[in-house]
Amino acid sequence: MTNLAAHAERIARHYWGEPNAKLSQKGRTLRWGTNGSKELDLVKGAWYDFEADAGGGAVDIVKQYGKLGISGSVADVLERDFGIQKQAQKALEPKQYIQRIYSYFDTDGAEAYQACRLYPKSFRLRQPDGRGGYLYSVKDIEPLPYNLPAIMQHADQPVFIVEGEKCADVLIEAGLVATTNHGGSGKWLDTHSKHLVGRSVIVLPDNDAAGRTHADKVIASLWGKAERIKRIDLPGLQEKGDVADFLSERTLDELMDIVRQAPVVTAQPEAGDEVPAVEDGAVEPYQTMRRGAVFAMPPVEFLVDGLLTDTGFAMMYGAPGTGKSFLAIDIALSVAHGMPWQGQEVKPGAVLYIAGEGIGGFGKRWKAWEKYHGTKDEPDMYLLPTAVNFREPEDIARLVATIEGIGQKFSLVIVDTVARAIAGAEENSSTDMGLFVAACDEIKALTGGALLAVHHAGKDSSRGARGSTALLGAVDTSLMVGKSDDIVVLRTEKMKDAEPMDEINLIMQTVPASISETSVVLERTDEPAPRRQKAAGWRDNPQAYHAFQALQNLLIDKGVTRIHVTEWHEAHTQKEPDLSKQQRQRARQMLLDAGPVVCDKKIVWINKELT
């Protein structure tokens, strides 16, 4: 990211000169021109020209403003004028793409233009070019209210005006007639209002200063045109909350009751009472808190009492074979069923489990859990059976679309494991781990709940989680999982907002999952974990011990005592992906030589007499 931003800034300064210091934000954005018409995002390496309605990455600056010469090669210009070697130029392009398209239709029902939501988060408008493509300019297009055909078709129904297409779609899907304007708050115009003459209108502001200002502007524009206007400031919304948040927790009937009871607006909002809306490109100040607001803050609430806060970012780590996934599934199903977890009270809610290491044994574990706990009802549990790369914007966009498509407010998202969620990254890099943390924050903000990342311990588990300490620094809660014989030990190592709870011991119970399958469930116990005497040989070799644990867990998952050697090799590879093939072979051979594992005719089993 630093390399990309540095190149983009240097190229922009080369063609545009010195930026406008007053309108720029140090370390974040640079602005050029008296009114800041050109902007460069230093983090993303992306720019936008508001006057030309054009933008892109560093390469696009060269294309639009550089002298390409006879060859027309951008690569040649970058190498000649900026000393950027051709093999490094791929990094100049920001990963920006369309996440979602909102179409605006005219009075004839034809598509007039589109508002495209891009990743990283921004919007661009485009109109059909008449040849099956689009022009990224709408200067000659009159702004239209969203969902105009439905407004015209249902002339006897009230029109709900919200801020943003996402909220409008939520109400439309609920069977209401809803609309908005493109561009966000402060962009409602009289040209929008002329389509609502004689209509009954309900304005639903977002719960922030910009949203309230926007509502005033909408009502002022509709004054004298709409037959009657109601303004609904929804109760119980968090700061920046909206009607979509309201309906994620309340019903449509409750919303309609509030609308029916609300009085009609009887006075046009006065311009002098308005809080100025934040215009495109303007700097939005941070909000501060005074003593009274700080003292009035509610206490920390837990999703799982004493263990996971309800909106926190948590990490649970341990060596391979210590039972991390069993614990994660146990927590997930307890929350999804609204049942206490190992004696700790739970706040019921929906759970999204991202099973990045596959779902081979997941079904058995789920069945065994339900049989053991005697549950038969369908829990609010959603399993995503594939890895999501949290470093790839495309993967995060698909995850966001998946969550939005489910239409469920998730109380807990579990990422199992971090290694699968940052495939291809350097785990010791604070930059790569920082990208993972940022993506987790984005998902947490989207769901409004907690996120639990399941991670591996380092080769020396006593030294903490594997990889960069940036992850430990970012989480609110860090949980360490250990195992001695059949006792799983859960220890709270970090609890930012509360006192850490005492160590929990859980015994692994083998139970039937079906007629032919068994799996393991966890049961809290007061029995202390046995202290293993320091032994010579394979137990002192971490790689050999992890190979043993891979076999042991595989046998438990399958409910068998013997297995084909290739399955052991595959399980070992999944548990130790960072080791070379030769290192894994040496580790397994040590077990065969020492005797705790026996192999005969490509069938392997554990020699219990030596373990």
Which tokens hold the place of 468? 């960069």
Residue 428 pLDDT exceeds 90 = no
CA–CA gap between residue 259 and residue 244 (Å, rounded): 15
Supply φ then ψ for residue 318, to 5 degrees.
Answer: 180, 170
Q: What is the DSSP string of 139-155?
A: TTS----TTHHHHHHTT
Tell me what pLDDT residue 282 has.
45
Residue 177 pLDDT exceeds 70 = yes
Domains of the chain: 2-95 (3.90.580), 142-273 (3.40.1360.10), 302-525 (3.40.50.300), 537-610 (1.10.10.10)
Tell me what pLDDT residue 97 has.
55
Tell me what pLDDT residue 574 has.
87
**Beta-strand runs (E) in 157-205:** 159-161, 177-179, 200-203
- Give 228-256 pLDDT, tens digit per residue: 999 999 998 888 899 999 998 899 999 99
Question: Degrees (nearest 5) of the Cα angle 276, 99, 125?
Answer: 55
Lowest mean pLDDT among 13-22, 173-182, 231-240, 276-285: 276-285
- Give 432-457 pLDDT, tens digit per residue: 888 899 889 889 988 889 999 999 88
The residue with greater pLDDT, 193 or 496, is 193
Tell me what pLDDT residue 125 has.
86
Helices and strands (H and E) in the chain: how many: 19, 26
- Give 523-562 pLDDT, tens digit per residue: 999 887 665 444 446 777 888 888 988 898 888 888 888 8
- Backbone Cα Rg of the chain: 29
CA–CA gap between residue 31 and residue 255 (Å, rounded): 43
Q: Which of 472, 448, 447, 445 is nearest to 458 (CA)?
A: 472
Tell me what pLDDT residue 273 has.
42
Element holding 41 (H helix, E strand): strand 38-41
CA–CA gap between residue 244 and residue 165 (Å, rounded): 11
Residue 347 pLDDT exceeds 90 = yes
Tell me what pLDDT residue 85 has.
64
CA–CA gap between residue 477 and residue 69 (Å, rounded): 57
Rounded to two decimals, the pTM is 0.53
The strand order across the sheet containing 29-32 reads: 29-32, 38-41, 46-49, 54-56
Q: How many other β-carbons are positioned within 10 Å of the β-carbon of residue 598?
A: 14
CA–CA gap between residue 164 and residue 166 (Å, rounded): 6
Tell me what pLDDT residue 1 has.
38
